[in-house]
Structure 1
Amino acid sequence: MKKIFLIALSAFFFTAVSAQDSTTAREGVLKKAGKANDHLMLQFGYTGWSGIPDTISTKGFPRTFNAYFMLDFPFKSAKKFSAAIGAGVAYDNMYFDKTFVDIKGTTENLRFINQADTNNFKKHKVGTIYLEAPIELRFVADPDNSDRSWKGAIGIKAGWLAKAFTRSRTLQTRAGGVINDYTVKEMQKRYFNTTRISATARVGWGHFSLFGSFQLTNLFKDGVAPEIRPYTVGLTLSGL
């Protein structure tokens, strides 16, 4: 079902884009003063892991940063709507409380090691960096003055895992005493799915909008870790 949905959605967007008059689209992008087509999107927000078991302790403010460059293709027959495609990068961080995520382990399953009763790192996080290709179906209430108008978009994005790593800082005793103030960074992708598909949505006014995304695929490979699907919510700054 998921594959059928993705194929149908992709076919819809490519059909819509190919149906537009290319000259009209270029004029809309390049020549209309005061019309921001949201070619550049910067997103900052909170990221969470849906499905994480209670035995794995997280803390702090896990965050995400995304940056995309988009091409916008207005619909000739319905100017309030457009299709957009693009490319960019997504950077997510998840922070753990007295838990060590052994991404460089040699075991079949990824270990989340509880270190509450032993020496542990004061700060420990898992970070991922994806190269992504988003597709959006967009709506703007006033297409001739879109930088001062209500906007909305729904879409989907495909990503490829460029990097997965952990960063651990300040080794301490179980009571919190500092043993050694140093930083350890490890990189390994073997437990992670290297591709991901996420559903996306945005709504806002002018250059600012709220966004949300939900990963439809598992973060980790089947059978090596709990079935976790990350989600993000936050603020989008768009323009150009």
Structure 2
Amino acid sequence: KYAGGRPDIPGTLLLEVGVNLASQTPEDFKTAVFGSRTLNVYYQYPIQLPIFQKKISLVPGIGFGFDRFKFNNNYTLAYESGDLTMSKMGLDISKSQFIANYFDVPIEIMYTKKVDDPNRSLKVSLGFRTGVLMIAFTKIRYNDDGTDIKLKTKQGWDVNTLRYGPYAKVGFGNFSLFTYSNMSTLFKADKGPDESNINTVTIGISLGGF
């Protein structure tokens, strides 16, 4: 089916942009808030439940999450004697980032106040997200005797292969504010930089209706 010249595809494409906040970090794991970003691209399919005048929906989804952490002290992840740590590796680093990309499965319960006009309605959601790590890598930029070098290093970095945790959203129509809280640590237990167990929270905005 087509609506307004476009395919009438069931469900919603959701775009989310947010900032990543890390806690329980070692001394040299210092991130820049606005450089540590998240982009989530999810497909969701709302299922109205026959309760509370159909104002409650079950909303399963599937998609990809792209997490980035920018270090404002220009340290990077490195292994020393087999242990993960934060280091400058003796380099004149001018930019340093850590990236982890996930395949995610979010599912939520959503309340819609105006069922007959959802695009202008208050919406509140509580959900739970599970994600599987696809790839993790570092990116640094440094100067070597006047030569500007960019280096990307792909390896496991002892990142947890599974992430999971609750989330909440509140908004109007297709716009909402969200917060994701990971119950899992960013790195495997006691395998983070300097044996840390780093937790992350993401806050941001959601745009749906695509």
- Scaled by the length of structure 1, what TM-score is found? 0.76
> Among 76, 81, 101, which residue is 2:77 paired with?
101
Alignment of structure 1 residues 140-219 onto 2, 5 Å: 140-171=112-143, 179-219=146-186
Alignment of structure 1 residues 44-193 onto 2, 5 Å: 44-59=17-32, 61=34, 62-78=36-52, 79-96=54-71, 97-102=73-78, 105=79, 107-114=81-88, 119-171=91-143, 179-193=146-160
- 3-state SS of the aligned residue for 1:91? strand
1:87 Cα deviation after fit: 0.5
1:119 Cα deviation after fit: 3.5
1:228 Cα deviation after fit: 0.7
1:39 Cα deviation after fit: 1.9
**Counterpart amino acid of 2:146?**
I
- C-alpha distance in 2 between matches for 1:199 and 1:56: 25
Alpha-carbon deviations, 1:47-69, whole Å to 9, x = none? 11121133333336211100100
Aligned partners of 2:136 and 2:155 also within 8 Å: yes
Higher-Rg member (1/2): 1
Alpha-carbon deviations, 1:197-238, whole Å to 9, x = none? 021111001111001101100111112221111111011001
Task: Please state which structure has a larger fraction of its residues in helix.
Answer: 1
Aligned partners of 1:108 and 1:224 also within 8 Å: no
Please, which runs of 5 or more residues in structure 1 have no aligned partner? Answer: 1-29, 31-36, 173-177
Change (3 A) 1:155 1:185: same
**Counterpart amino acid of 2:183?**
L
Alignment of structure 1 residues 214-233 onto 2, 5 Å: 214-225=181-192, 226-233=196-203
Q: Which residue of 2 aligns with 1:42?
A: 15
- C-alpha distance in 2 between matches for 1:201 and 1:60: 21
- 3-state SS of the aligned residue for 1:68? strand
Aligned partners of 2:64 and 2:101 also within 8 Å: yes
Change (3 A) 1:179 1:224: farther
Task: Please state which structure has a larger fraction of its residues in strand.
Answer: 2
Change (3 A) 1:38 1:128: same
Please, which runs of 5 or more residues in structure 2 have no aligned partner? Answer: 4-9
Q: CA RMSD in A?
A: 2.0
Q: Which residue of 1 aligns with 2:7?
A: none
**Counterpart amino acid of 1:72?**
P
Aligned partners of 2:28 and 2:75 also within 8 Å: no
- C-alpha distance in 1 between matches for 2:11 and 2:199: 28
Aligned partners of 2:75 and 2:86 also within 8 Å: yes
Change (3 A) 1:60 1:74: closer
Q: Which residue of 2 aligns with 1:234?
A: 204
- C-alpha distance in 2 between matches for 1:166 and 1:213: 23
Number of residues of Structure 1 aligned to a counterpart in Structure 2 = 196
